[in-house]
Amino acid sequence: MTGQEQIAIVKHVPLSVLKKRINHHKGLPEIVPRLLFIRLRYKGMSVVKAADAVGVSGQTGYNWQKRWNAEGFEGLVPRYAGGHPAKLTDDQKAELLELLREQDHWTTVEAQRLIQSHFGVAYGLDQVRRILKSFGMYYGKLYPRDHRRAIDAETILQKNSRG
Residues 4-53: tens digit of each pLDDT: 667 899 999 999 998 998 888 888 888 999 999 999 999 999 999 999 99
Residues 92-111: tens digit of each pLDDT: 999 999 999 998 788 899 99
Contact 50, 40 (CB under 8 A): yes
pLDDT at 138: 77
Mean pLDDT of 73-100: 90
